[in-house]
A and B are shown apart, each in its own frame.
Chain A
Amino acid sequence: MSSSADPSFVPPLPPLAAFAGAPLYVTGDDNLLVTVKNAAAGVTITIGGRTLAVGDADASPFGPTIVPATDRSDSTIVIPLTSGWLVSVQAKVTAGSPLSGQTWVRFSLIHGQSASSPELFTLCSGYVTAKKPLSYPGGSLVDSLDGAGALRSIIGATPGAGAEVSETVPTGARWDLIAFRFRLASAVAAANRFVDLLLDDGGAIPYAHLYPVATAQVASFTFDYTFGHGLPNTTGQQAYMGPLPNDLRMGAGHRIRSSTLGLQAADQFSQVQYLLREWIEGS
């Protein structure tokens, strides 16, 4: 039955109680927009829900799936709603194993049929995992920067000979850097190499300039450099270490990079590895 039904029609409100929750009245022009931002591989999300059309006594289920992009960009799906009530909806991970902090979902009511239609109402939002769906009613509005974040260990790029280490926070991500490690093999060219770690926003001036120790790495040696929360500033056997700022949040485009006084053309950085907590930015 359409929204132009007999105005004397009495909605079946008493039976609605049997559906539980808080059914949301929608017109025939309102639709459900599902937006997913995802950084994990192999994720499929199934949207399960029920609507009750005006004049119907039984709810109708819907269950489309969405395979979100893995670059944290918006993946959207518009689910058409008929005139009546949105009884419930949930997003459930049905393939993949995203960590909390990697796959974020938002349900919105829109007036129109495209993802760019005006949003009328945000039902709920939050991270989903294989064990934690996002449901309405009952779900709250959780910002993508909330929570413990996803713990990730990342293999960085190996620079070309004579080039510095540089790792960039991806678009749509926020990082809390916990530890950062790399190796430098100095070539035979005689020079004192002093390796620093710079943290910057992609511009010219770093906001942190970290010095492990004031000891040079000379020619023909291989040293490991480790920076981390709580580490002392010290030198070991062919190893340097230094502290990182605590609770350091880095936004998209920010860089973690080495800067080496005395670096020679044949010097080689390698084994770049780092540990961090990650969130989706821009929800």
Chain B
Amino acid sequence: MLHCQSCGATYEPTQPDGAQYFHACPPLSRAELAAAVKDGRVVLPKKPGGKTETVDEAMAARVYERANKRDENIVSTKAANDGAILAEGAGAVELDTPTPARVVTVPQA
């Protein structure tokens, strides 16, 4: 199980069928944008009339991506790209504690 250092997501890099999983960070959520506005990392634009957009209005109007977004998808399927990924972001680390299995086999009584 990997932990994305950019967005905090956790994921298995290999699916149960053995296929690769390619994580890509989501855009900022409403809660994350509100925090970014509060600490000054994002300044919301003014509306006609001079009022500042609310976070909900901003969310409805555009997408806010994180600067260190991680995207593990490969750049291209051409062999020359040789597995280069779209964006490293802040990287991903292996979690120390394994996640409990989703399917548990219980021994017979």
* A contacts, CB < 8 Å to B: 37, 39-42, 69-76, 102, 115, 152-166, 168, 170-172, 203-204, 252-253, 255, 257, 259-265, 267, 282
| New contact pairs (7) apart from A73-B77, A155-B12, A261-B59, CB-CB < 8 Å | A71-B74, A72-B74, A154-B15, A158-B11, A159-B26, A203-B63, A265-B31
* Residue pair B74, A160 in contact (C-beta under 8 Å): no
* B contacts, CB < 8 Å to A: 4, 7-12, 14-27, 29-32, 35, 56, 59, 62-63, 71, 73-79, 81-83, 86
* Residue pair A168, B31 in contact (C-beta under 8 Å): no
Which residues of B are found within 8 Å of A259, using beta-carbon distances? 59
Would you give the shortest CB distance from A197 to chain B, in whole angstroms? 13
Which residues of A are found within 8 Å of B79, using beta-carbon distances? 73-76, 115
The A-B contact count (CB < 8 A) is 127
Would you give the shortest CB distance from B63 to chain A, in whole angstroms? 5
Would you give the shortest CB distance from B79 to chain A, in whole angstroms? 4
* Residue pair A73, B11 in contact (C-beta under 8 Å): no
Q: A40-B19, A73-B81, A282-B77 are in contact. Are A262 and B7 (CB under 8 A)?
A: no
Would you give the shortest CB distance from A278 to chain B, in whole angstroms? 9
Would you give the shortest CB distance from A253 to chain B, in whole angstroms? 7
Which residues of A are found within 8 Å of B32, using beta-carbon distances? 162-163, 265
* Residue pair B10, A158 in contact (C-beta under 8 Å): yes
* Residue pair B83, A257 in contact (C-beta under 8 Å): no
Nearest B residue to A280, CB-CB = B77
Q: A71-B83, A204-B63, A259-B59 are in contact. Are A168 and B71 (CB under 8 A)?
A: yes
- Decide if the interface of chain B is mainly helix, strand, loop or mixed: loop
Q: A75-B79, A171-B74 are in contact. Are A163 and B30 (CB under 8 A)?
A: no
* Residue pair A154, B27 in contact (C-beta under 8 Å): no
Ranked nearest first, the 6 interchain pairs of A and B with the lowest CB-CB distance are A160-B8, A41-B18, A166-B26, A157-B11, A162-B31, A172-B77
* Residue pair B17, A157 in contact (C-beta under 8 Å): no
Which residues of A are found within 8 Å of B63, using beta-carbon distances? 203-204
* Residue pair A267, B31 in contact (C-beta under 8 Å): yes
Q: A168-B24, A261-B56 are in contact. Are A40 and B9 (CB under 8 A)?
A: no
- Of B10, B11, B73, most buried by chain A (CB within 10 Å of CB) is B73
* Residue pair B19, A70 in contact (C-beta under 8 Å): yes
Which residues of A are found within 8 Å of B71, using beta-carbon distances? 168
Q: A166-B25, A265-B35 are in contact. Are A42 and B18 (CB under 8 A)?
A: yes
* Residue pair B26, A253 in contact (C-beta under 8 Å): no
Nearest A residue to B18, CB-CB = A41
Q: A157-B10, A163-B7 are in contact. Are A252 and B31 (CB under 8 A)?
A: no
Q: A41-B19, A158-B9 are in contact. Are A171 and B26 (CB under 8 A)?
A: no
Which residues of A are found within 8 Å of B4, using beta-carbon distances? 157, 160
Which residues of A are found within 8 Å of B30, using beta-carbon distances? 260-263
Which residues of A are found within 8 Å of B62, using beta-carbon distances? 204
- Of B8, B35, B75, most buried by chain A (CB within 10 Å of CB) is B8
Cα-based distance from A166 to B9 in the complex (angstroms)? 10
Nearest A residue to B8, CB-CB = A160
Would you give the shortest CB distance from B83 to chain A, in whole angstroms? 6
User: Of B7, B15, B19, B74, which contacts A159 at CB under 8 A?
Assistant: B7
